[in-house]
Amino acid sequence: MSAESTDLTRLSAATLADKLTAGEVSSDEVTRAHLDRIAAVDPAVHAFLHICGRRALATARDVDARRAAGEELHPLAGVPIAVKDIIVTKGVPTTAGSRILEGWVPPYDATLVSKIKAARLPILGKTNMDEFAMGSSTEHSAFGPTHNPWDLDRIPGGSGGGSAAAVASYQAPLAIGTDTGGSIRQPGAVTGTVGVKPTYGSVSRYGLIALASSLDQAGPVTRTVLDSALLHELIGGHDPHDSTSIPEPLPPLVAAARQGALGDLTGVRVGVVTELNGDGYSDGVRARFSESLTLLQQAGAEIVEVSCPHFTYALGAYYLILPAEASSNLAKFDGMRFGLRVTPDGGDGLAATAERVMSATRGAGFGPEVKRRIILGTYALSAGYYDAYYGSAQKVRTLIQRDFAAAFEKADVLVSPTAPTTAFKLGEKLDDPLAMYLNDVATIPANLAGVPGMSVPNGLSDDGLPVGFQILAPAKADDRLYRVGAALEALLETRWGGPLLERAPELATAANSPVEATR
Amino acid sequence: MSTISRDEVARVAGLARIDLTSDELDRLAGELDVIVQSVARISEVATADVPATSHPLPMFNVFRADVPEPSLPVADVLAGAPASEEGRFMVPQILEED
């Protein structure tokens, strides 16, 4: 059983789905194998904040019983999944990586969780993240950092480092992430996994604890492009509970991934963004990027150079818009209706009014990065500064959208490295917020414009660590990401003789603890 | 553009309802100054003739069917509250004593 269990965790979601449908394995076996893997490696990786072993196995046994009874099931039924802890799950603790929500149990499910449950995917647990998704390293989690499975001394990216590390270390074949400025794609790049930020509005935000409402988007975190397409089709689509949800149906994503995997990109115009591939990008990142371009060209793609001159202002606009929206969204954490409440000791002789309780609660419950951004956002929105900061940032947003529109006249997709460097050491940038923010320089423009983006692993840098290749498409043309991403993945794996993740070092495994003991 | 003083951070933290320690005020004043100086260069291109964009894909008058649906059970909602009484959130006093 144990040898077989190890093998099951190495399979893609698509392969697991086929085996489950064919009756070659049961969901109970598959789910148990992943829970065993979590017990073995997560003490070292710390991808999960909460494991729901019993619930997951109950779902798995239910799937097996329904299948045995001949019921028609969703193709991914029985394939386990991990969910980022910023997405509310009824009856399962949801903290968003913050002390202020420690112990809170949501009374409802996010729409995407309802879809996962309706399709009967066992939910393994909730994954670690930077507090309220503010960060690029998962070091801002109030519950300790996640470690990169490629090198446990390094960051797994962020904010969704838990989801990416869980998938990279075979603790889950599928995970949900959220991407406000790169929190799905950058962790994908530095852990050698696939991450997709769908078009804004492609996946419902109902039940996603909002960071910046005009930028946030949930999406798939997987090991293969096809698995991302399968998951995107499951969680996407219109939701009346989210007024920013796109009413029209998704383009066919799985079909696009299957077409792309054939490796023919004849007639596809691939635009290289001049501004996203120069100073600040490491030599190894640039070398892998140019090799990938050559592969795309050999597959028939036409490579064109495009300039998006305002992208150099994207980071600045982002770090005004995001904190401004976050300062408003996080006002709900006031110590009154849910989560932490801290009552000041009254030593100053003042009554513990609601206002003083709120200030004390937020002072104690928020970590340093959250305080930094709320105060920055409050400043940018305050009287006298609004026009200069927030108002100017909104204008830059217009300019960036115009840059995208012009670039997509010349190219069907735009490409760049996903992140400027490989994973850095834990602690290396913790005291330098600006250096931390620069990790997202290539991913942020897509969020400001609402366009979809994908990161595909495209090799190892000189330091032996993975790098990612970013593909961007026009809004509502997410299918282009899957076609080009699957083609690049197929071409690279042919060259490598297998997936990049096979080159990751084996993790030492802890003694197995009984699955049934976990919640 | 102006720089952010320690007093300014304290004032804004008050607006944001976040108690900060003296050490946090010292540190944040320096950090926010660096960040604001860095982002301020957007004013180079944010000229008067450029319209503002607040949303990536504008949609207007989004409605859903006006159908009554059950609300969450009161007990479920109050289960996560720091304090409750008689089916309501219990909060500290709202007004100062005169």
Q: Is the pLDDT of residue A289 over 70?
A: yes
Within-domain flag for A66: yes
**Inter-residue contact B31 to A401 (CB < 8 Å):** no
Burial class (CB in 10 A: 0-12, 13-18, 19+), A121: buried
CATH of the domain at A110: 3.90.1300.10
Which chain B residue has the Cα nearest residue A312?
Answer: B42
For residues A342-351, average pLDDT: 81
In tens, the pLDDT along A179-238 reads 999 999 999 999 999 999 999 999 999 999 999 999 999 999 999 999 999 999 999 999
Choice among A5, A26, A114, A183 that is catalytic? A183
What's the confidence (pLDDT) of residue B98? 62
Q: Which of B8, B77, B94 sits opposite A107 (nearest CB)?
A: B77
Q: What is the pLDDT of residue A229?
A: 98
Beta-bridge mates of residue A272: A305, A415
Higher-pLDDT residue of A262, B55: A262
Residue A77, by phi and psi: left (phi above 0), alpha (psi -120 to 50) or beta? beta
Q: What is the pLDDT of residue A512?
A: 53
pLDDT of residue A3: 47
Interface-testing mutation among A343, A396, A447, with chain B (most B C-beta atoms within 10 A): A396
The answer to whether residue A502 scores a pLDDT higher than 50 is: yes
Residue A516 — very low, low, confident or very high, per pLDDT cuts 50/70/90?
very low
Q: Does A390 map to a domain?
A: no
pLDDT at A510 (0 to 100):
74
Residues 6+ apart with CB under 8 A from A55: A92, A122, A123, A519
Q: CA of A339, closest CA in chain B: separation in Å?
A: 7
B55 touches chain A (CB under 8 A): yes
Establish whether A290 is a catalytic residue: no
- A389 CB within 8 Å of a chain B CB: yes
Nearest CA to CA, how far is B97 from chain A (Å)? 8
DSSP conformational letter for A212 = S
First to last CA, chain B: 41
A84 is an active site residue: yes
| Active-site pick, A19, A26, A27, A84 | A84
Cβ of A319 and B39 within 8 Å?
yes
Residues written for chain B: 98
Query: Does residue A319 lie within any of the structural domains?
Result: no
User: Which residues numbered 298-337 in A keep a CB inside 8 Å of some CB on B?
Assistant: 310, 313, 315-317, 319-320, 327, 331, 334-337
Lowest mean pLDDT among A315-329, A467-481, B59-73: B59-73
Is A323 inside a domain boundary?
no
Assess if residue A346 is contained within a domain.
no
Instruction: Judge whether A183 counts as a catalytic residue.
Output: yes
CATH of domain B6-45: 1.10.20
Give how far B2 is from chain A: nearest CA, Å. 10
- Active-site choice (A12, A26, A114, A159): A159
Is the pLDDT assigned to residue A511 strictly greater than 80?
A: no
Let me know if residue A248 belongs to a domain: yes
Q: Is residue A185 part of a domain?
A: yes
> What single DSSP character describes residue A388?
I
Contacts of A447 in chain B (CB under 8 A): 56
Give the chain A residue whose CA is nearest to the CA of B14.
Answer: A359
Question: Which pLDDT does position A514 carry in this prediction?
Answer: 46
Cα–Cα distances in angstroms (integers) from residue A116 to residues A18, A75, A82, A119, A123, in the given order: 18, 12, 11, 5, 8
pLDDT at A239 over 90: yes
Give residue limits of the domains in chain B: 6-45
**A459 pLDDT above the threshold of 70:** yes
Task: State pLDDT tens for residues A122-153.
Answer: 999 999 999 999 999 999 999 999 999 999 99
* The pair of three-digit structure tokens given for residue A56, joined into one six-digit string: 């997951």
**CB under 8 Å to B27, separation ≥6 — which residues?**
none
Q: How many CB atoms lie within 10 A of CB B29?
A: 17
**pLDDT at A519 exceeding the cut of 80:** no
Residues of chain A neighbouring B43 (CB-CB closer than 8 A): 388, 392
Distance of residue A10 Cα from the nearest chain B Cα, in angstroms: 38
What is the share, in percent, of chain A residues with pLDDT greater than 90?
A: 91
Report how many domains make up chain A. 1
* β strands within A118-234, DSSP E: 123-127, 174-178, 194-197, 218-222
Q: Which of B86, B93, B98, B35 is nearest to A358 (CA)?
A: B93
Position A436 scores a pLDDT of 87
Determine the pLDDT at residue B19.
97
- ipTM higher than the 0.90 cut: yes
Range of the domain at A44: 3-311+398-503
- Tell whether B70 lies on the interface with A, counting CB pairs under 8 A: no
Mean pLDDT of chain A: 95
* Residue A377 domain flag: no
Please give the average per-residue pLDDT across A74-80, as a whole number. Answer: 98
Which residue type is seen at A138?
A: T
